[in-house]
Amino acid sequence: MSNRRTKKIFKQVRNANLKYNLVENGDKIAAAMSGGKDSYIMLYSLTMLQQFTPLMFEIVPINIDLGWQNETQPMRKFCESLGLPLHIEPTNIGQVVFDYREEKNPCALCANLRRGAINRVAKDFDCNKVALGHHLDDVVHTLFLSILFEGRHNVFKPKTYLDRMDITFIRPLIYVEERDIELLTASFNLTPVVNRCPADGQTRRADMKVILDTIEKDFPGARKQFLSSLENIGPDSFW
């Protein structure tokens, strides 16, 4: 672990794991691979936990193919470099969202369908947990979207148990900033899969990213402060 950025991210992932018990002995974890930079580093972070902590657990990389005909070879190659075969599950989610339903706000429906698909495939592989690539910036973006458009504080938890499916969602990158993910991805010369979704970059979340990038520029460290403010409300701050 010679890369300085690697050490930084490993420390943040380890700290999140110590605080929230995201990964535990005996787990079999489905790593949700989109082919984007976040899922690459999420998967790599899990392998670091395997190598540099006493934890004993399994990892199963899974990609839910939405039907965009994305190039998956870089993602396969990355998983293989870690000694992990990638399972690709074909679906027609993209067609359902944009052609059949013609959703004006497609992201929520797409997310629900993808979540259902990853849960089903994870259970097929006897996984008890699903690891997602959400990072610190995602938490803050979700917080501000919830405040502005819902009038409440509603952010995803670092760890969420779904009793209906008997499966737990975990977010190992909860303390990691997107910029560090971008830098580490570049230093590894990784090739993220191009997102062919018609709504990519045209969502409220994309707008929120621009706003919060401006805040961070004027007030360095603002993202971390927003996250800390959530944690400091109380032990159940992540609703």
In the numeric block, the tokens 């805040």 are attached to 215
Residue whose entry in the numeric block shows the structure tokens 């369908």: 113
Q: What is the CATH number of domain 4-233?
A: 3.40.50.620
CB atoms within 10 A of CB 15: 12
Q: DSSP letter string over the chain?
A: ---HHHHHHHHHHHHHHHHH--S-TT-EEEEE--SSHHHHHHHHHHHHHHHHSS---EEEEEEEE-SS----HHHHHHHHHTT-PPEEEE--HHHIIIIIS--SSHHHHHHHHHHHHHHHHHHHTT-SEEE----HHHHHHHHHHHHHHHSS-----SEEEETTTTEEEE-TTTT--HHHHHHHHHHTT--PPP---TTTT-SHHHHHHHHHHHHHHHSTTHHHHHHHHHHHH-TT---
CA distance 8 to 6: 5
Q: Residues 222, 215: contact at Cβ < 8 Å?
A: yes
| Pairing mode of beta strands 167-170, 159-162 | antiparallel
Find the farthest-apart pair of alpha carbons in the chain and give their distance in angstroms, rounded. 49
157 vs 199: CA distance, rounded Å? 25
**Which residues are CB-contacts of 4 (< 8 A; sequence separation ≥ 6)?**
none
Q: Are 119 and 159 in contact (CB under 8 A)?
A: no
Q: Cα(71)–Cα(55) distance, rounded to whole angstroms? A: 33
Q: What is the pLDDT along the chain (239 residues), one digit of tens a residue?
A: 558 889 999 999 999 999 999 999 999 999 999 989 999 999 999 999 999 999 999 999 999 988 776 778 889 999 999 999 999 998 877 777 776 666 566 777 777 888 888 999 999 999 999 999 999 999 888 888 888 777 777 778 899 999 988 999 999 999 999 999 999 999 999 888 876 666 665 577 788 888 888 998 899 988 888 888 887 765 454 44
Domain spans, the chain? 4-233
Angle between helix 37-52 and helix 178-187 axes, rounded to 10 deg: 80
Predicted confidence (pLDDT) per residue in 111-153, tens digit: 788 888 899 999 999 999 999 999 999 988 888 888 877 777 7
- State the pTM of this model: 0.87
In contact, 22 and 110? CB cutoff 8 Å: no
Q: Are 43 and 31 in contact (CB under 8 A)?
A: yes
Q: What is the pLDDT of residues 69-86, one digit of tens each?
A: 677 888 999 999 999 999
